[in-house]
Amino acid sequence: MKNPESSPAASIPDVFDPTCSSRHALELIAGKWPMLIISALENGPMRNAALMRRLGDISQKMLTQTLKELERNGLVIREDMRTVPPHVEYSLSPVGRSLSETLLVLDRWAETHFGALDAARERYDTERRK
């Protein structure tokens, strides 16, 4: 019911098992935009244009495409108000919200340690002149 492929005894969900769809779950959010989009929806529903502004440099195409993929996997809910002009709102599903909590921790990690990464990178590049 959960891990049909892996070895007989071990049907324990394992992200390290390439045949386990938990791996798929991870790859779903491993792209350039999914994590940011989910985080952006943390504070309630947002419209297309608002997301565009929030993310700063995402293209309309990638936004729509990523949102659709997230919706497909049940992380994001798309609500079309069916008005004219169009009004569409995106929000997090319960599962999506559970993910966003972890991702916010990740965001804070990035905002906390990026300086260290920058420094390390510069050091590395300086030593091996390349």
Strands across the sheet containing 76-80: 46-47, 88-92, 76-80
Cβ-Cβ contacts under 8 Å for 17 (sequence gap 6 or more)? 3, 6, 23
Cα–Cα distance measured from residue 59 to residue 48, given in angstroms and rounded to the nearest whole number = 11
Which of a copy of itself, DNA, none has residue 100 at its interface (CB below 5 to 8 Å by kind)?
none
Residue 57 in contact with DNA, rule: CB under 7 A: yes
Residue 33 in contact with DNA, rule: CB under 7 A: yes
Binding piece for a copy of itself, criterion CB under 8 A, among 19-27, 59-67, 79-87: 19-27
Which of DNA, a copy of itself, none has residue 59 at its interface (CB below 5 to 8 Å by kind)?
DNA
> Residues binding DNA: what is the number (CB under 7 A)?
24
Cβ-Cβ contacts under 8 Å for 15 (sequence gap 6 or more)? 22, 23, 26
Binding piece for DNA, criterion CB under 7 A, among 4-12, 57-65, 102-110, 114-122: 57-65
